[in-house]
Structures are given as structure tokens and as C-alpha cells.
């Protein structure tokens, strides 16, 4: 009998300093707080501001995560910086039925056509939301909200405690920016 | 009440050291170990850990400071990695020869050159013969639990040996995962105060680590060897006590679906669980395979190891280090020598992979095991196979 696969693998693409690692960290902590099993880790190596970086999540609702290797066949891809779409093959290895969640001003239709993406796409103008709510263009918590809505991998309320802990007095504003992105993300209908 | 939290493994190890109420931390930062000592420095600076934090100018000095600290009877911790560990090398021998119960976390990483900050076991193998107890862990929970156990093992007056916890750099140190953190009161109950038998004391002067002429040196070394051998009993006793107190069990050699399996893969460290997934998949495909994990590297658990592999026909051994120009991978060499005089023994196939941070995927492990079975059948003129290399 083949067991039902309960493992979800997420690959975050960002640029050094945008907070992809923090997003993955918050997601894992929230999943663990829900009693799930989860991993978050960066693409290991020297950190360079502005350079393309990756971060990874594994979330399993049923059993401990045992695999310790980079995610090369993700279920979900998150793109924190729209400029990466033209320089990184973000859908590389993306599983059939996978999702791509992009921070962009453009619509789902425009993104799909322009970058020939044959997967379900969700878009959100995370940079605008972050600038308006936080005053900076750091989109980690914004994109976290978009991902939670587009994937349903965990409840958005579960991220409140990790966000409060991580951001201290900026916790409430980060929760707000996460919630706005959660509400505003456009998800392609399947 | 224990709490299950999502936490970076390095931070959790530092928190475990805090739970153990260490008195002295002397350390020098080096990737990928840095987060451990940074967090300890924070805990000391914030007054959350009442310890002396000695920021030294090199790892050689870090271990030297640890010598002095442990000799006074202070509970002593440090952490390092790779080049830092090999810079300590000279002092590591002194620590074990002087029977000083220092606990050290080693974030395993490749050695230069070429420069690599990524993980493998080259650094471990370079300190194999330093006389330290060496324990491997596979995940964050094991890292926390064994850090706590390490103090009790090292400081036990029947042992008094420095102890290393090997946790793979990045693949463990930089991962956030669920870890159950014990309560301080539970740890206090489990870990008695350090009662070093002959602490340095100006009122009662003692000489330590002094000169040994040929008339006594070999006796000193023999005593060290006897002592290291005898430590296994205490290590197992401590793990057993830990199991009773916390419900998580550790053994010198751990078996995964290996009883009765004809083909076994032997692993150490964080890739072990990935290999377990490969074993599960191969079993689903009808293969007769299992896994053996070496937790205790020193003292080498000969009896438990021989017992664990006695019914197998093939033993595939993964090494994440090379003995350049030498026989098989370092672990495979030891395994072969442990089996050589037995009448019935599995064929050992040595694989080297995962050097300098190269991943081994589930598919990679399946390939290694499948190729290992084939090589055991056909034979090979190679001392070892190297997996995943572009020639």
C-alpha cells in the first residue's frame, strides 16, 4: 500500500536582504506551533545583499521531516522579487499541479504570458503593501500572507506569535501587512 | 512541562548549554558554528546564563582556556568547526590526557583547500585519535539531548573525558525544526553538579599534565585507553537514565529496519534520516534492505556494531571524508577492521559522497545502496567508490 504523501515542499526565491529566510522561518515556526512537523533553512553559504537567494520549507502534517537536502522538486514556488523571473528559472523542478506565487504589480494573466508559466499563478503587489504599512520594501511578512492564502498550508493566525516574537515592537505592523497581503492576493482559478 | 518549539538547531544547542548551567564558555566564532557561541554570548551578556564568556583570539586559545577552566572544576563548554577544530588539535590531546571533562559541539565542515564552508566529516576524521568521546547526532532534538547527556558523561568521575557532539554544519546548524526543550528543573535533576575530583586550588596545589619519562608514559596512555573503553558503560547508563527521565532513547549503534535484512547501509550524522527514507522506498520496492547508524564514534562500539551487522551479506558504508591515497573511507576502514577476524561477516562496500556540502538526495541513497549490492556481487578493483563525482 502506498502511503498518502503529506509532505509539502516550498522554495522561496528572493534577493539577499529581502527576507526570504525570515519568511521560511516564520512559516516553519507557525506550522510547528500548530503541532505539524516542519523545516526551514536557507540556501547555505555566504550571504550577499542583493544576490539571488533561496530559502526552503518542508511541512508535513503527519510525520517528522527526515529529508535533509535542498528542495529541487517543490510543490510551491514563491518569488519575492519580480526581477528574478527573467534571470532565474524559478519553476525548475516544480511538481505537476504546483503553484507559483509572485510579488508583482502585474496580473496573473500578464505574468503567465510574459514568462510562459504553465502552473497555477498567484500575484500580489507585496512591495506596495510593505511600503505603505511598514514604510520599507521588505516583503517577507507580506509574501508570507500571500502564501498562506494561496496554499492553505497553515492558518494565518498561527503566524501571529512567531511574528510578534521576531519583530518585537514592529510585530503588530508586520501582522497587519501579512493580513493585507492575505486579503489582496489574486489567485488564478483552476 | 516541556515545550515543543520551532527553533534553529544552533540556538537550541546554546539554550541546552544554558539549561546545563555551564560556568565557562571560551570560544572563537567560525562558520557554520557561529550561531551557537553568538547566542551563548548573548545569554551571558543578558544575564540569562551566569557564566564567564571568554572571547579568545583563536581556537587554539579557546581550547587552552577550556583546559584551565575545566581544571578548576568549572563546567566548561566550547564549540567549533573545520579549520577551528584542526587549529585546536594540539590542545585536544592535552585535554583528554589530562582527563578534563570539557564539552564541545563540532559543526562538521570540510577542510581547506579548496576553501569550503560547507559540511562533511573531514574535520571529524582529523581528530579521530585525540582521545575524546565522540557522539554523532542526526537532528536537532538529538543535538539538544546529547549536549545535556555529554556534560553528565564527561563529568562522571568514572569517565572524566572531554566529549564532542558532532552535528553537521548547515544541514543541522542552520535548520529550524521542532525541538522539545526540557525544563531547567528537569535538567537540574538529571545533571548533577560537576564534582571534579582534584580541582586546581591555590590552598591545595596539585600538578596536572606534567612531564612523563619513558618509565611512566606508556602506563599513562594505557590508563587512558582503559578509561576510554570503560566509558562506554557509563555512556549507556547515562543514555538509559536520560530515556527514563525524558523518554528519548539513544544507543551506541542504532538500527532501522535492519533485523534480518541482507543488505545494510551504515551512516553517521544528519544524512542518516534521508537514508532511512531511501531504505523505506527500497523496502516498498521489495528489496531486503535496512540501516545501521553509528551514534558513538569514540569509543567505537565494537560489540554492538558486530551484533547489528552479523546476519547481513552486504554492508554499504557511507563516508563523508576521504583518506587521500589510503584505503576505503575512514568509517569503512574501521568497520572492515572490526569485522576482519570474524568467521562470518558481510562484504563491505565503501562509498564516499557528500563532500563539501554536496547533498545526497533520497534517490542518491537508493543509487548508492543499489550500486553497493551490485559491487558486492561482482567485486571491484577500487578500494572505494566515489558517488556523484563529475570525472
In tens, the pLDDT along A28-38 reads 999 999 999 99
Mean of the pLDDT values across residues B281-305?
98
Using an 8 Å Cβ cutoff, are A124 and A181 in contact?
yes
Subunit contact A40:B276, Cβ cutoff 8 A: no
Sign of CA dihedral B207, B85, B274, A99: positive
Averaged over B78-94, what is the pLDDT? 98
* A38, A68, A70 member nearest B270 (Cβ): A68
Is the model more confident about B206 or about B237? B237
pLDDT tens string A110-159: 999 999 999 999 999 999 999 999 999 999 999 999 999 999 999 999 99
Q: Which domain holds residue A83?
A: 7-184
For B50, the grid coordinates are 551566569
Task: Note whether B176 contacts A39, CB cutoff 8 Å.
Answer: yes
Tell me the pLDDT band of A3, cut-offs 50, 70 and 90: low
pLDDT band with cut points at 50, 70 and 90 for residue B210: confident
Q: What is the ipTM of this complex?
A: 0.94
Predicted confidence (pLDDT) per residue in B316-328, tens digit: 999 999 999 999 9
Q: Are the Cβ atoms of A69 and B177 closer than 8 angstroms?
A: no
Measured torsion, CA atoms of residues B16, B9, B126, B98, in degrees rounded to the nearest 10:
-10
Does residue A20 sit at the B interface (CB-CB below 8 Å)? no
pLDDT of residue A2: 53
Cβ contact B273–A28 (<8 Å): no
Stretch(es) of chain B classified as CATH 3.40.50.920: 254-386
End-to-end CA distance of chain A: 30
**Lowest mean pLDDT, pick from A68-72, B73-77, B278-282:** A68-72
Query: Considering only CB atoms, which chain B residues are within 8 Å of A33?
Result: 5-6
Contact between A68 and B271 using a beta-carbon 8 Å cutoff: yes
Hey, are the CB atoms on A38 and B362 less than 8 Å from each other? no
Work out the pLDDT band at A49, boundaries 50, 70, 90. confident
Task: Give yes or no for residue B156 having a pLDDT over 70.
Answer: yes
How would CATH label the architecture of B3-246? 3-Layer(aba) Sandwich (3.40)
d(CA B332, CA B328): 6
Q: For all residues of chain B together, what is the average pLDDT?
A: 97
Q: What is the pLDDT of residues B321-370, one digit of tens each?
A: 999 999 999 999 999 999 999 999 999 999 999 999 999 999 999 999 99
Quote the percentage of chain A above a pLDDT of 70: 98
Percentage of residues in chain A having pLDDT higher than 90? 90
- At residue A1 the predicted structure's pLDDT band, cuts being 50, 70 and 90, is very low
* B52: contact with A, CB 8 A cutoff: no
Q: Looking at the 3D structure of chain A, how many domains does it have?
A: 1
In the 3-class helix/strand/coil scheme, how is B267-304 assigned residue by residue? ECCCCHHHHHHHHHHHHHCCCCEEEEEECEEECCCHHH
Compare all CA atoms of chain B with the CA of A27 and give the residue at the minimum distance: B6
Q: Does B367 touch chain A (CB under 8 A)?
A: no
Cα B310 to Cα A167: distance, rounded to the nearest angstrom = 55
The minimum CA-CA distance between A55 and chain B, rounded to whole Å, is 11
**Cis before residue B114, ω within 30 degrees of 0?**
yes
The phi, psi pair for A40, rounded to 5°, reads -135, 135
Flag whether A57 is in a domain: yes
Taking 90 as the threshold, does the pLDDT of residue B232 lie above it? yes
DSSP B388: S
Interface of B with A in 29-48 (CB under 8 A): 32
Identify the CA nearest to B273 among candidates B124, B118, B139.
B139
For residue B46, with 0-12 CB atoms within 10 Å meaning exposed, 13-18 middle and 19 or more buried, which class applies?
A: exposed
| Partner B, chain A 67-106, Cβ-Cβ below 8 Å | 67-70, 72
Contact call for B174 and A68, based on CB within 8 A: no
CA angle in degrees (0–180, nearest 5) for A156-A38-A158: 20
Query: Do residues B9 and B173 make contact, with C-beta atoms less than 8 angstroms apart?
Result: yes
For the entire predicted model, the pTM comes to: 0.96
Express each pLDDT in B122-133 by its tens digit.
Answer: 999 999 999 999
Which residues, 6+ apart, have CB-to-CB distance to B286 below 8 Å?
Answer: none
pLDDT mean over B74-92: 98
Look at chain B and count its residues: 391
Helix (H, G, I), strand (E, B) or coil at B348: strand
- What are residue A9's phi and psi, to 5 degrees? -115, 130
Query: DSSP letters along A54-84, please?
Result: EEEEEEESSS-----S--SS-SEEEES-GGG
Please give the Cα distance from B17 to B147 (Å, whole number). 7
Determine the pLDDT at residue B71. Answer: 98
Mean pLDDT of chain A: 94
The pLDDT-based confidence of A45 (bands split at 50, 70, 90) is confident
Q: Where in chain B is the domain with CATH 3.40.50.970?
A: 3-246
DSSP structural state of residue B2: -
Asked if B108 has any chain A CB less than 8 Å from its own CB, the reply is no
Closest C-alpha to B280, from A7, A97, A36: A7
B4 touches chain A (CB under 8 A): yes
Average pLDDT over every residue of B44-73: 98
Sign of CA pseudo-dihedral A151, A152, A158, A160: positive
For the segment B3-14, the average pLDDT, to the nearest whole number, is: 97
> Under CATH, which number does the domain B254-386 receive?
3.40.50.920
Least Cα distance to B17 among B60, B69, B53 occurs for: B53
For residues B111 and B84, is the Cβ–Cβ distance under 8 A? no
Radius of gyration of chain B (CA): 21
> For chain A, how big is the Rg over CA atoms in Å?
15
Residue B335 grid cell: 568497520
pLDDT for the residue numbered A152? 92
- In the block, cell 568521546 appears at B133
Q: Kindly report the CATH number assigned to the domain that includes residue A46.
A: 3.40.920.10
CB distance B119 to B32 below 8 Å: yes
**Quick check: B273 contacting A, CB < 8 Å?**
yes
Amino acid at each position: 500500500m502506498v502511503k498518502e504523501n503529506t509532505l509539502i515542499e516550498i522554495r522561496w526565491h528572493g534577493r539577499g536582504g529581502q527576507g526570504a529566510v525570515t519568511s521560511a522561518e516564520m512559516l516553519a515556526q507557525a506550522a510547528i506551533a500548530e503541532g505539524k512537523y516542519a523545516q526551514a533553512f536557507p540556501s547555505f553559504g555566504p550571504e550577499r545583499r542583493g544576490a539571488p537567494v533561496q530559502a526552503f520549507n518542508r511541512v508535513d502534517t503527519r510525520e517528522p521531516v527526515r529529508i535533509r537536502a535542498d528542495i529541487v522538486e517543490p510543490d510551491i514556488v514563491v518569488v519575492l522579487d519580480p526581477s528574478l523571473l527573467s534571470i532565474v528559472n524559478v519553476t525548475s523542478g516544480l511538481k505537476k499541479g504546483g503553484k507559483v506565487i509572485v510579488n508583482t504589480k502585474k496580473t496573473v494573466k500578464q505574468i503567465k504570458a510574459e514568462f510562459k508559466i504553465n502552473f497555477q499563478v498567484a500575484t500580489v503587489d507585496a512591495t506596495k503593501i510593505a511600503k505603505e504599512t511598514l514604510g520599507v520594501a521588505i516583503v517577507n511578512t507580506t509574501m508570507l500572507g500571500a502564501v498562506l492564502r494561496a496554499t492553505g498550508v497553515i492558518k494565518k493566525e498561527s503566524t501571529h506569535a512567531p511574528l510578534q516574537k521576531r519583530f518585537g515592537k514592529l510585530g503588530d505592523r508586520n501582522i497587519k501587512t501579512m493580513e493585507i497581503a492575505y486579503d489582496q492576493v489574486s489567485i488564478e482559478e483552476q | 512541562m516541556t515545550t515543543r518549539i520551532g527553533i534553529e538547531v544552533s540556538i537550541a544547542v546554546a539554550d541546552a548549554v544554558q539549561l546545563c548551567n555551564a560556568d565557562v564558555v571560551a570560544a572563537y566564532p567560525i562558520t557554520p558554528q557561529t550561531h551557537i557561541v553568538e547566542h551563548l554570548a548573548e545569554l551571558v551578556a543578558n544575564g540569562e546564563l551566569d557564566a564567564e564568556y571568554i572571547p579568545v583570539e583563536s581556537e587554539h586559545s579557546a581550547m587552552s582556556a577550556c583546559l584551565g577552566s575545566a581544571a578548576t572544576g568549572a563546567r566548561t563548554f566550547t564549540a567549533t568547526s573545520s579549520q577551528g577544530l584542526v587549529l585546536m588539535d594540539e590542545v585536544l590531546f592535552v585535554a583528554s590526557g589530562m582527563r578534563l571533562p570539557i564539552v564541545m559541539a563540532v559543526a562538521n565542515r570540510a577542510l581547506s583547500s579548496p576553501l569550503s564552508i560547507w559540511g562533511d566529516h573531514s574535520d571529524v576524521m582529523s581528530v579521530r585519535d585525540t582521545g575524546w568521546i565522540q557522539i554523532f547526532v542526526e537532528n536537532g532534538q538529538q543535538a539538544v539531548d546529547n549536549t545535556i547527556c555529554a556534560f553528565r558523561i564527561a563529568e562522571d568521575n568514572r569517565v572524566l573525558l572531554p566529549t564532542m557532539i558532532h552535528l553537521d554544519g548547515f544541514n543541522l546548524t542552520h535548520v529550524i525544526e521542532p525541538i522539545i526543550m526540557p525544563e531547567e528543573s528537569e535538567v537540574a535533576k538529571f545533571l548533577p553538579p560537576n564534582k571534579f575530583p582534584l580541582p586546581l586550588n591555590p590552598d591545595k596545589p596539585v600538578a596536572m599534565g606534567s612531564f612523563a619519562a619513558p618509565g611512566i608514559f606508556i602506563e599513562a596512555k594505557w590508563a587512558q585507553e582503559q578509561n576510554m573503553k570503560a566509558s562506554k558503560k557509563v555512556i549507556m547508563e547515562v543514555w538509559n537514565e536520560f530515556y527514563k527521565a525524558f523518554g528519548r532513547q539513544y544507543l551506541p549503534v542504532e538500527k532501522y529496519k535492519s533485523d534480518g535484512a541482507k543488505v545494510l547501509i551504515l551512516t553517521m550524522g544528519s544524512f542518516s534520516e534521508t537514508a532511512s527514507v531511501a531504505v523505506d522506498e527500497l523496502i516498498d520496492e521489495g528489496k531486503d534492505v535496512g540501516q545501521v547508524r553509528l551514534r558513538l564514534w569514540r569509543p567505537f562500539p565494537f560489540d554492538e556494531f558486530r551484533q547489528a551487522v552479523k546476519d547481513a551479506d552486504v554492508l554499504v558504508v557511507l563516508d563523508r571524508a576521504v583518506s587521500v591515497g589510503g584505503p576505503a573511507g575512514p568509517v569503512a576502514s574501521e568497520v572492515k577492521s572490526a569485522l576482519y577476524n570474524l568467521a562470518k561477516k558481510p562484504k563491505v562496500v565503501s562509498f564516499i559522497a557528500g563532500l563539501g556540502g554536496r547533498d545526497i538526495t533520497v534517490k542518491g541513497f537508493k543509487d548508492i545502496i543499489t550500486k553497493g549490492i551490485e559491487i558486492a556481487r561482482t567485486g571491484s578493483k577500487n578500494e572505494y567508490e566515489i558517488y556523484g563525482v563529475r570525472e
